[in-house]
Chain A
């Protein structure tokens, strides 16, 4: 969210902008005639600023209130300040020094941050969707508005990965494919929801930091574990309260009395045989087709997965609990005289265990990591000898951040990095019609290291001078992350 320029709200939510003589009266959520200022939550906000972030430490035991009632939106004097690349602009092609090369001091060390916005053709997002539901086959195309914008990749623990974007969809396909891919990336990176469809799979709605919606159903929870793991976790709590538990799971369905955990408790076999392929005792693969029913299968009625009930072991009155790996689905049955499972009210203790399965499931989210390569010419905005920047990053002498947020720099050649888009300031991303994504990137290093790698030392500006720019926007530093301007280690002696 943009921070205010100054407060100016009236009773009906209209803000009067005094940035120019027109004095636009702006309703909530709208902009003035210039489109530069808008009413954001009842406050006048500059909408195209570049963003600096300030670290307001607990000084003499008191937090300095940031963006509070008494704050005028200006830099807080003396507080550590970091200039981000958001809104900095770019000098593409970067044969000129980057827009801002800023000197600051932190703990008495002279630091230089090169601030720019990169235009990335080689970029995309990796999306992790927390779900056990079947999304679609691996390598299947992921489409938005009918255009392929990416594909389904690996299934990971309790989740399904998608790869969206990448240069081949941005610029390698048809013009429309590129435009739609660019729009999709921009939305995902900006925290907006995107509707997608997987070939031979499901319709998805993905939004960074929000639960995924799969085939119209909102995913609430990650499973506590696979069916077998769930048996292992809860066996002792079920023991004595039920004669058999079947944990329905598309990956591995667990059957308590056959499972190692049930054997350990000396539970008698219940004689209820589930469908599918037996892996090890009490663990079954493929009890049904993948789907959006119980435990990521296509099962709507759990009894469908029971192949037979063996009278050798099963007895009338046998108590059976069937539950999914998230606790979202659960039924309690008692076998009648003909050994047919009959639905019965679930005893309170079993209900408690089902609730506990749910409680142990983490909230299901879609998470979006932006991945991009800061290649050739962008580096030239930083230094006259680009490869030295790459080496400096690899040697951990130069810190790379994206809108001040920490990034993971992939080993190997180039500066290819990944960043959680939700840790970046609002409106960090933009696009150009190439199509390509515009994203902020900052390189921070000791001043002497910057000189050593052939940096544009003559273009260094003092942070106080940059802070005088009229389109400055101050945001509170994202407290969880490391301070992007903190000193880096010294160059090791040769």
Chain B
């Protein structure tokens, strides 16, 4: 792994013509398909952009941890204490992705992973002729598809038992350029109990924010669910004193159905509002897909044979 002395960002080539970019908590896996020279230039563009992504975010971190106030759909705004205008490109992507959900508690951090993926993908493809490309930021994926191309991705329903429980297949004409997954077992806290909520949307930031909100909605009141105030776990959490899920024992059928239905209801509402293309929810082995005729086809459940070291 080569580390840039200036920024501290690091990169290393991976197998399968992929690159790994890492800086602090950000881990990206990138791949471009196309002419070798075009791909090489694309990777250099992405690397150049990546170097300042983390410092830009850190500079505005306190603001990014503040809730997005309701009914403020325009951007940028001049501002109140709570919603000062954000200046960084990634920060603005985050805010824009979260603003439609501002009738509930949400902070721009809900879309940080997706927004970083979108920003680096934009740099990767700018001016390049590529058939296809992706930037995967820890499961939140920004994709670019030329006409006729497809992108296949696997969904791991329970990271405690890593295996693919479903695959999502996206065609260029679907209008999907972002895939994101959220759940209480992941790196970020969740108010809900979903093992995985995978969302397809117009970009990764939108998918990330929606996956967060749908995952929050997959819940029910049940003694088997243990929650703790987020700041008891992380003193700087943007979720403040909101109770986040720390453990979930096996639930009975009634509780599972209720929690799943809550999530599906939220997903349908977001789809009706044009915020997402489709969503897939997994909860203790139960699965549900939300969306119209397209989404269930786009996300198809599939038990895959385990393949290792592919």
Residues of A within 8 A of B (CB): 14, 19-27, 30, 32-35, 92-93, 175, 179, 183, 432-435, 470
Q: Which residues of B contact A179 (CB under 8 A)?
A: 161, 163
Q: Which residues of B contact A19 (CB under 8 A)?
A: 24
B236 to chain A, nearest CB (A): 6
Counting chain A CB atoms within 10 Å of each CB, the highest count among B27, B58, B308 belongs to: B308
**Are B8 and A433 neighbours in the complex by a CB distance under 8 Å?**
no
**Are B309 and A33 neighbours in the complex by a CB distance under 8 Å?**
no
| Residues of chain B from 9 to 35 with CB closer than 8 A to chain A in the complex | 23-25, 27
Q: Which residues of A contact B6 (CB under 8 A)?
A: none
**Are A27 and B233 neighbours in the complex by a CB distance under 8 Å?**
yes
A12 to chain B, nearest CB (A): 8
**Are B309 and A92 neighbours in the complex by a CB distance under 8 Å?**
yes
With A22-B54, A92-B309 as contacts: A34 and B8 at CB distance below 8 Å: no
With A20-B54, A21-B24, A434-B306 as contacts: A33 and B61 at CB distance below 8 Å: no
**Are B54 and A21 neighbours in the complex by a CB distance under 8 Å?**
yes
In the complex, the chain B residue whose C-beta lies closest to that of A22 is B24
Q: Which residues of B contact A35 (CB under 8 A)?
A: 25, 187
The 9 closest A-B pairs by CB, nearest first: A20-B24, A33-B25, A34-B25, A21-B58, A25-B235, A434-B308, A22-B24, A433-B162, A433-B306
Q: Which residues of A contact B3 (CB under 8 A)?
A: 470
Complex Cα–Cα for A30 and B233 (A): 7
With A33-B187, A179-B161, A434-B306 as contacts: A24 and B23 at CB distance below 8 Å: no
Q: Which residues of B contact A26 (CB under 8 A)?
A: 234
B216 to chain A, nearest CB (A): 19
- Which label, helix, strand, loop or mixed, suits the secondary structure of the A interface? loop
**Are B308 and A20 neighbours in the complex by a CB distance under 8 Å?**
no
**Are B306 and A22 neighbours in the complex by a CB distance under 8 Å?**
no
B55 sits at the interface (CB 8 A)? yes
In the complex, the chain A residue whose C-beta lies closest to that of B308 is A434
Q: Which residues of A contact B55 (CB under 8 A)?
A: 21
Counting chain B CB atoms within 10 Å of each CB, the highest count among A30, A33, A35, A435 belongs to: A33
**Are B235 and A27 neighbours in the complex by a CB distance under 8 Å?**
yes
- Which label, helix, strand, loop or mixed, suits the secondary structure of the B interface? loop
Q: Which residues of B contact A22 (CB under 8 A)?
A: 24-25, 54, 58, 61
Complex Cα–Cα for A14 and B55 (A): 23
B189 to chain A, nearest CB (A): 11
Q: Which residues of A contact B27 (CB under 8 A)?
A: 34
Q: Which residues of B contact A30 (CB under 8 A)?
A: 233-234
**Are A20 and B23 neighbours in the complex by a CB distance under 8 Å?**
yes
9 sampled A-B residue pairs with Cβ under 8 A? A14-B235, A21-B24, A24-B234, A26-B234, A32-B25, A33-B25, A35-B25, A433-B308, A470-B3
**Are B233 and A20 neighbours in the complex by a CB distance under 8 Å?**
no
* Residue of B8, B187, B234, B309 touching A21 (CB-CB under 8 A): B8
Identify 5 new A-B residue pairs, CB closer than 8 A, beyond the known A24-B25, A24-B234.
A26-B234, A27-B232, A179-B163, A433-B162, A435-B306
**Are B309 and A93 neighbours in the complex by a CB distance under 8 Å?**
yes
| Residues of chain B from 222 to 238 with CB closer than 8 A to chain A in the complex | 232-236
**Are B24 and A33 neighbours in the complex by a CB distance under 8 Å?**
yes
Q: Which residues of A contact B25 (CB under 8 A)?
A: 20, 22, 24, 32-35
Complex Cα–Cα for A93 and B58 (A): 41
A342 to chain B, nearest CB (A): 50
With A93-B309, A434-B308 as contacts: A27 and B234 at CB distance below 8 Å: yes
Q: Which residues of A contact B234 (CB under 8 A)?
A: 24-27, 30
B75 to chain A, nearest CB (A): 25
Counting chain A CB atoms within 10 Å of each CB, the highest count among B23, B162, B232, B306 belongs to: B306
Q: Which residues of B contact A93 (CB under 8 A)?
A: 309
In the complex, the chain B residue whose C-beta lies closest to that of A436 is B308
In the complex, the chain B residue whose C-beta lies closest to that of A20 is B24
In the complex, the chain B residue whose C-beta lies closest to that of A31 is B187
Complex Cα–Cα for A27 and B24 (A): 18
Q: Which residues of A contact B161 (CB under 8 A)?
A: 179, 183
In the complex, the chain B residue whose C-beta lies closest to that of A175 is B306
In the complex, the chain B residue whose C-beta lies closest to that of A32 is B25
**Are B308 and A432 neighbours in the complex by a CB distance under 8 Å?**
yes
A429 to chain B, nearest CB (A): 16
Complex Cα–Cα for A433 and B158 (A): 12
Q: Map CB proximity to A onto B162-174 as digits: 1 under 8 Å, 0 otherwise.
A: 1100000000000
B19 to chain A, nearest CB (A): 18
Complex Cα–Cα for A19 and B8 (A): 10
Q: Which residues of B contact A434 (CB under 8 A)?
A: 306, 308
With A19-B24, A34-B24 as contacts: A24 and B236 at CB distance below 8 Å: yes
